Structure 1
Amino acid sequence: MKPPSFEYHLPGGVEEAVGLLAELGEDAKPIAGGQSLVPMLALRLAAPEHLVDLRRLDGLRGVEERDGTVRIGAGTTQAAVQRSAEVARSVPLMARATPLIGHFQIRNRGTVGGSLAHADAAAEYPAVALALDARLEAVSPRGARTIPAGAFFTGLWSTALAEDELLTAVDFPVRRGRSGFAIEEFARRGGDFAIAGAAVAVELDGAGLVRRCGIGLFGLGSTPLRAPAAEAAATGSALTGIDASELGRTALAELDSVPADLHASADHRAHVGAAIVARAWRRAAEEAAHG
């Protein structure tokens, strides 16, 4: 199918871009890499009257570490994240998630901000942002504000961004010391969206107890999710006292519902999801324990 007709805008800066979004309102959509929006246009799942192209906004691209955080510009491509030594060193969970996204052609065009703003429940980056307690920066004509990842994803393909707001960057806390990270997913083919997936971050204290853990789930609800009951069950415990399989079952048991579709029934997806959480936990815990 062909997309519906639209008016095309190519702003030269962030201020001009958010001005256009404010002026055009709900009839406008920003477009970066277009790897999510263009297929939706072609299928008539989206029909904006205006597209605001962000490709000239160089200030939205780049990776920078400062004050204990790594800031990744929203316009940074997934391929650039995959190549970044800074991301691999300081946000390893992000680096490990990136090769799982689609195919290299998609990663060459797709952007960090595009993936987060699209908020697909089966995508990797939103779950990573949740597991790492990322903070997302948005700009509008009213100024800039910071949104915690836990408050950013509000529903199916929807976020806390207002119509005139533009996602400009995401900040990830740098976790060093005795920390471990892992992401696991199950998909029918490489490059497909995950039927079930989990991103896990574990941090140990000086006594070897779990000081903090984050478990982000994807493909298991209408939004990317965290598993607070499973996180609470692990926090304060020694790794040797945590049963990974039981932790996986706890993570899935707390979900209100698990989606069913032509790829998997709800029961099958929940069974696979529990196993995926357990597998990711084992890998992250082993890395935290041994470095």
Structure 2
Amino acid sequence: MPSQIILFDQSRSASHLLAKVLSKQPKLEKLHSLYSACRGKQVEWLTSDDWENGMAEADYSAFKASARTATADKILLIHDHPFSSAHPEHVQSFINSSSTIPSIPENFTSIPDTLLLHTNTIPVLTIRDPRLAVSSAYRVLTSFGFSHGSGRPNFLISTTLPMVIDADDIMTDPGYCRFVCEKLDLEPELACIDWEKITEEEKANIHPMLYASQMGLLESTGLDASRAAKNLDFVVEEKKWDDEFGDDVPMVREMVESGIPHYQYLRERRLRM
């Protein structure tokens, strides 16, 4: 049995749906978004005029201190974006690289190798077709007035992890959800396949950013195969972008095209039944 599962989620890859599927497992103690407190310093740095000079030492010290506090003596289900824990130098290499896949042979996160490579650690990476992941991330960012640059590097992240889970497989197949539980040494019969829709009272008390980023899940009552990439007509979907994204459509298309090779590479290596 693993002692910890580290869930690295590509932005907008149905990772919260996967977490929902695992939510009834008595063995799991969820530790969500360890590095979320550090993210503010990242955004401030990457949206500043002198971002190319690197993160200021004082900010980096605060970044590390926040990470140390968040991760002290914690184990089990750890769920966060891989980019949130990245060292500033590695962030710059992702942005500045002329290659479609930046060459970083070492561990680029702030999670120590002793934990990441521990024999009782199962790393998981959720992925999703970039035509859905990028456009969805853009909608969430702009709905709260964030500049698209604050999230741009997230679209370019690449990494290799032992267990890759595609959003389509989770959305379309309850049997696959149970299979994932089995592979994680959890109880397949306790996979959460349906649930209650969020109530108006719960909605009134939830943070607006949390609601915006998880609206599809919160307003649903179970797995929704209609949202899977394989069940969508992307000629129709991409035509909607002109009205939604206006002058930023070229940026969205650029990020989609940048993400496609990463997605295809990882999808070929995804967990299969």
Normalising by structure 1, we get a TM-score of 0.29
Structure with a larger share of its residues in strand: 1
Larger RCO, structure (CA 8 Å, separation 6 or more): 2
Structure with a larger share of its residues in helix: 2
Normalising by structure 2, we get a TM-score of 0.31
